[in-house]
Amino acid sequence: MIENISINIDMWITFIIIFIALIVYASERLPVELTSIAIVCVFMLYFYIFPVPGDGIENLLSPKEFVLGFANSALLAVLALLVMGQGMVSAGVIDKVAHVVLRLSGSRGWIAVLFILLVVLAISGFLNNIPVVVIFIPIMDAIASKFYATPSKIMMPLSFAAVLGGMTTLIGSGTNLLVSGALEDMGQDPFSFFQFTLPGLVLAFVGFLFVFFILPRLLPNRSSNTEEFVKNSNVSFLSEITVSEGSLLVDLKSETGIFGAYPDLILRVIERGDDVFLPPFEGIKLKVGDVLVVTATREALEEAISHDPNLLIPRLQDEANQEVEKWNEGDRVLVEVMVRPDSNLVQQTLSSFQFRQKFNCVVLGIERRSRRLKTRISKIPIIEGDVLLIQGQTNDIKLLRNSSELVVLEWSSQVLPKLENAKKALIIFFLSIGAAVLGYLPIMLASLCGAVAMVFSGVLNIKTALKAVDTKIFTMIPAALAMGLAMQGTGGAKFLSSNLIFFLGDESPYLMLSFFFLLVAIISNLISAKAAAVLFTPIAVGISQGLGVPVEPFAVAVIFAANCAIATPMGYQTSLLVMGPGHYTFGDFARGGIPLIIILWITFSVFSYGYYNLN
């Protein structure tokens, strides 16, 4: 029923290399990028010295074949989609969506996460998983920030929810299409659109219960140094806001001393010309030109100026008649700086020191430890140790680092979204994704065009676009392809499957189907979901024909099991997408993925017994 696979030294060398690679990945003693490049180099060197001949080919595994992994269409698509996703973030689109989700969820974090995971689960059955995850990664990140959670608790559930949703229809995953196409090439009936939807929904439902209720408890509470700094910093800055024409604050009336547009800004004083209003501000309606003295966390100030560019913090027009619009142009960067003890700024106000003219930056707020300030920041004498929250353009912030007056707190630097680019970003994104979904362009070409358009249109600059390219993804996908190529070229994968069939040859078709699912799931984590789909579809047909049973259950097992490539980051592309934002290590995927694979295996085995009527 299955062709005999000869045992050869190349196959065992391949197994040893893969085994060592997985140990190095899991140990995290070397950078992921270095390990991945080393894997490709070792395979190229070995098979260059010891070529593997094939049908009229001198070497099936030549160095050229391994290098092609760096030009793989899936790799290029993933990288381009990351750039497009960054464009959506930089234009403030994702933050807007996150606010809508939060409003619908009643500002309860678990409901917001549940809502997003259910949406991802549903739409992943009809859209490619990669753009779905790209869309929702920054939304999940914004929700984590809002509720002071770490992204590591929710990014992997996002990826797994997309994988589960992708199991429900023919177009839910590229893996599904590969299996169906392989069946047709072998003279079998291809799958219809909803042929495996019912078992897919059963697996998706059971898997989703695990993903939402249990998986976050298994994941580490891990974040980047920058996130730790921001989330652990509960200090408040004193800030001075000038209400300008078009601001959301215009004509707002105080209710119990709070102005609803920005409830996280604590209002201390309102100055209107020569009049000064103190709390509780009952009955006061804000007007254009009012100066508001507020205290707020950095997060609250950042949200205010990101979503209301007509807030002037502080009044920006000076004797040089500088235009307000200047401070909303280009990349707007927020950064915190500390005043040096020997600074000439000490005991001077910002105005007398001419801070804005010297540094071409605006001070948004002042934070002074153990002191509650209530005076306008332009009138406060600065003392050593004061922390200033500053807004400036990228080049100005670079010059600020060379100042002898201030110490830039590097971890606090953050680029504000450019809301004026939101419409352009949305148009580019939906045109690109739409062209891929409707089949007008391959997803690789559509995403590359979208990434280039983001840069040419000014939504992103080159530097920001390049930063969006994750080096872990750039190196791990070629490494995964190299391992899969070596296992296929040396016959290693077929050797493993043939031995399983040999040992289970006298068992029932039902047990054969169950263990076949498990084997495909294990191998898919080593050679990627798509490689496993291509490799095991012919084997599934051979097994079913040898047992005299329908092909469908074994072909469906290939689809579901290949999509279980979630216990290693290189097994499934969405895992690579969330690896960086979730700050995951190699071992984290095993911690979360292995239990889910076992649950899906058991669920499929139990359900298929009655559904496919195999005895």
For tokens 């609250």, what's the residue?
A: 300
* DSSP line for 152-213: GGTHHHHHHHHHHHHTSSTTS-HHHHHHHHHHHHTTSPPPPTTTTHHHHHHHHHHHHHHHHH
Q: What is the distance between the alpha carbons of residues 544 and 541, in angstroms, rounded to a whole number?
A: 5
Mean model confidence pLDDT for the chain: 79
pLDDT tens digits, residue range 392-427? 887 888 888 788 888 887 666 777 667 678 888 888
Cβ(569)–Cβ(547) under 8 Å?
Answer: no
Residue 409 parent element (H or E):
strand 406-416
Could you tell me whether strands 332-339 and 311-312 are parallel, antiparallel, or unpaired per DSSP bridges? unpaired
Q: What's the rounded Cα separation, in Å, for the pair 237 and 302?
A: 11
Taking alpha carbons only, the member of 150, 2, 77, 29 closest to residue 501 is 2
pLDDT of residue 567: 92
Q: What is the pTM assigned to this prediction?
A: 0.64
List C-alpha distances in Å: 217 to 344, 409, 591.
51, 33, 11
**Most confidently predicted of 259-273, 343-357, 583-597:** 583-597
For the chain, the residue count is: 615
Residue 148 CB coordination number (10 Å): 13
- Angle 197-213/155-166 helices, nearest 10 degrees? 170
Closest CA to 14 of 514, 549, 518, 493: 493
Q: d(Cα 102, Cα 47) in Å, to the nearest integer?
A: 54
Q: Which domains does the chain have, with CATH numbers?
A: 331-417 (3.30.70.1450)
Q: What is the SS3 assignment for 312? A: strand
16-56 pLDDT, tens digit each: 988 888 788 777 788 878 988 999 999 999 999 998 887 77
pLDDT at 314 over 70: no
Residue 330 has, within 13 A of its CA and on its CB side, a CA count of 11
Tens of pLDDT, residue by residue over 349-386, are: 888 888 878 888 878 788 876 555 667 777 788 888 88
